[in-house]
């Protein structure tokens, strides 16, 4: 019984060690990808920050400014860009994002453009209307793809296919913290103010400020989308690294616990064997007094001794049988 228990524990230890090697490897891969994704996220911020400043300058510098991308209208249908992960084993990264976006969608007529394999699976499972599922791998979406998506969605917004555009993504705060968020992209909201200086108020746009503004908005939306994807990819790798680090630590704790149990079982088996040997020796030295006389009882054999005795008895029978053969 003890031998069987020791064997099971040993197999369990080997299984946990194999799992620990996998989690360690995934942690190293996630750390490498996280560094690149973090650099990409930081590089994108100045680009669409400058675009945003340009848009606000155009809007603020023209008192009679009007554009379909800034007009507030009754929201009958809302479009969401949902950016999730491509794989699992990232802790609560995907679950937290889906929960945040679902709360924002509650009670609205929506359509979704999923980016990432998990987002596509989520939309299919919930039966949500999708604009397209061509971007099933978030890591493979390029800057050109972001601009193509932005131009397509801006065109549909102008035609009235939907009345508001949001992006659901995960903001990379730190290596240990990732925060899901929903950002409004269209229509763009701003408050009118006086121009900062005379030069700004005298800026002339050709052919018109509205035309320039409408041409920049798709680039701005594409830049926002590219930045959101970069933040989400960095957040996914950060969450996976944290999850794999925790899994490796848990595996180490399990190995220590199982090793302790194995040593205890081994020590128990040794103690039991010693006890059986000592008990057998004491039985051999014991004499019984009976009316027929004084005799020494046959000691009770343990499992190994009984097996050896049976083997010796079979061998004697075989030798006697061999002698009888002429």
Contacts 24+ apart (CB under 8 A), 135-141: 136/86, 137/86, 138/83, 138/84, 138/85, 138/86, 138/229, 138/232, 138/233, 138/236, 139/86, 139/233, 141/115, 141/229
pTM for the model = 0.72
According to the model, what pLDDT value does residue 140 have?
84
Residue 250 has pLDDT above 80, yes or no: yes
When pLDDT is cut at 50, 70 and 90, the band that residue 247 belongs to is confident
Q: Determine which helix (DSSP H) or strand (DSSP E) holds 88, and give its type and residue range.
A: none
Strand arrangement, sheet containing 110-115? 110-115, 78-83, 164-172, 178-186
Q: What is the reported pLDDT for 101? A: 93
pLDDT at 212 over 50: yes
Q: Cβ distance 188 to 68 under 8 Å?
A: no
List pLDDT tens digits, range 19-49.
Answer: 888 888 888 888 888 788 777 777 777 776 7
Q: Which DSSP symbol is given to 140?
A: G
pLDDT(233) > 60: yes
User: Measuring CA to CA, which residue among 73, 44, 47, 33 is closest to residue 244?
Assistant: 33
Q: Six-digit token pair at 222? A: 């594409």
Q: Average pLDDT in the 157-177 region?
A: 88
pLDDT digits (tens, 9 = 90+) for 69-127: 877 788 899 999 999 988 888 888 899 999 999 999 988 899 999 999 999 999 999 99
Residue 70 neighbours by CB under 8 Å, 6+ apart: 59, 187, 188, 189, 190
Domains recognised in the chain with CATH numbers: 10-252 (3.40.1380.10), 288-324 (no CATH)
The three-state DSSP-derived secondary structure of 172-236 is ECCCCCEEEEEEEEECCCCCCCCCCCHHHHCCCCCCCHHHHHHHHHHHHHHHHHHHHHHHHHHHH
Confidence of residue 180 (pLDDT cuts 50, 70, 90): very high
């Amino acid at each position: 019984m003890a031998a069987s228990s020791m064997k099971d524990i040993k197999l369990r230890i080997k299984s946990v060690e194999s799992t620990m090697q996998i989690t360690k490897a995934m942690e190293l891969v996630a750390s490498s990808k996280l560094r690149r994704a973090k650099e990409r996220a930081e590089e994108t911020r100045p680009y669409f920050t400058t675009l945003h400043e340009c848009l606000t300058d155009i809007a603020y510098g023209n008192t009679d400014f009007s554009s379909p991308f800034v007009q507030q209208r009754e929201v009958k249908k809302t479009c969401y860009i949902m950016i999730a992960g491509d794989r699992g084993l990232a802790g609560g990264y995907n679950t937290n994002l889906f929960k945040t976006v679902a709360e924002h969608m509650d009670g609205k007529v929506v359509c979704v453009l999923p980016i990432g394999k998990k987002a596509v699976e989520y939309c299919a499972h919930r039966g949500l209307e999708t604009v397209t599922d061509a971007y099933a791998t978030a890591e493979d979406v390029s800057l050109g793809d972001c601009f193509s998506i932005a131009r397509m969605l801006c065109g549909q917004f102008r035609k009235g296919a939907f009345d508001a555009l949001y992006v659901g993504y995960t903001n990379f705060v730190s290596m240990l913290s990732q925060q899901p968020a929903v950002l409004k992209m269209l229509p763009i909201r701003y408050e009118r103010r006086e121009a900062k200086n005379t030069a700004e108020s005298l800026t002339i746009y050709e052919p018109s400020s509205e035309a320039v503004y409408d041409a920049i908005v798709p680039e701005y939306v594409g830049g926002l989308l590219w930045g959101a994807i970069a933040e989400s990819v960095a957040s996914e790798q950060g969450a996976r690294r944290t999850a794999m680090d925790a899994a490796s630590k848990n595996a180490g704790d399990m190995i220590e616990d199982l090793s302790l149990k194995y040593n205890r079982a081994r020590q128990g088996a040794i103690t039991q064997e010693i006890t059986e040997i000592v008990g057998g020796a004491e039985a051999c030295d014991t004499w019984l007094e009976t009316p027929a006389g004084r005799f020494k009882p046959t000691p009770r054999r343990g499992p190994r001794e009984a097996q050896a005795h049976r083997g010796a008895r079979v061998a004697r029978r075989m030798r006697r049988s061999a002698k009888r053969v002429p």
